[in-house]
Amino acid sequence: MPEQYVAFGERLRQLRKESGLSQEEFAKQLGTSKQVMSRYETNQRAPKITIVREYAEKLGVSIDYLLGDSGDEVSYADFHPKRKKDGYFYKIFIDVTTKMGLDIPGIIRVTGLTDNQVRTIIFRQMKDAPLPLALRLSDTLGVPLEVWTGDALYTPVDITAEAREVALAYDRASTKDRNTARLALDLLPLSAPAGVDISEN
């Protein structure tokens, strides 16, 4: 379970307790039911990213703060969102991955999503994304969560999709395979943890 998904429920509970409200009162303030609020607080239900944004607006906090950012709270008023009028998730997803030079097989390789998941997003025109999916795409593609919600425009970074794919493959590789790559680049090998034979990894 993604750490930020768990943090969302914990932060909601914290904000509710700080406000001195019951689950029912807090749920009413956010425009939902006590049952849904309970599932969020106990991490039995993952919100859609637009729900995270909506709650952040109503509570006057940033999306990062609501997702458990340990830094100082930033009020929502400090943001200057550039939300797109038609910021449907699938349109943003196509825009981002196209700018990265990724086709469907490339998206699958880099993100680890299945072919069916990628085609569902694009061809069924998924208008919103579950938080775990948005977090996964943020991690694997290096795209801020606010891009998926339509609160920020995507700005291409100075790294090719191929280079990012290689970096992700390196992160997932065994110590032995990492050292093979490092040898080719004339870099010092990584040392193995005590008692681990890297030749067997």
Q: pLDDT tens, 95-124?
A: 999 888 888 888 998 898 999 999 889 888
CB half-sphere exposure, 88, CA atoms < 13 A: 11
One domain, residues 124 and 28: no
User: Which residue range is the domain that position 92 belongs to?
Assistant: 82-187
Last-in-domain residue among 61, 78, 95: 78
Can you read off the two tokens belonging to residue 71? Answer: 């830094």
d(CA 18, CA 43): 19
Question: What average pLDDT is seen over the chain?
Answer: 80
Which residues fall within 8 angstroms of residue 57, CB to CB, at 6 or more apart?
Answer: 76
One domain, residues 180 and 168: yes
Q: pLDDT tens, 125-156?
A: 888 899 989 999 998 888 998 899 888 888 88
One domain, residues 86 and 182: yes
pLDDT greater at residue 72 or residue 167: 167
Model confidence at 199: pLDDT above 70: no
Does a structural domain hold residue 194? no
Number of domains in the chain: 2
pTM of the model: 0.60
d(CA 145, CA 63): 9
pLDDT of residue 201: 44
One domain, residues 92 and 11: no
Amino acid identity for residue 183 in this structure: L
Last-in-domain residue among 54, 78, 102: 78
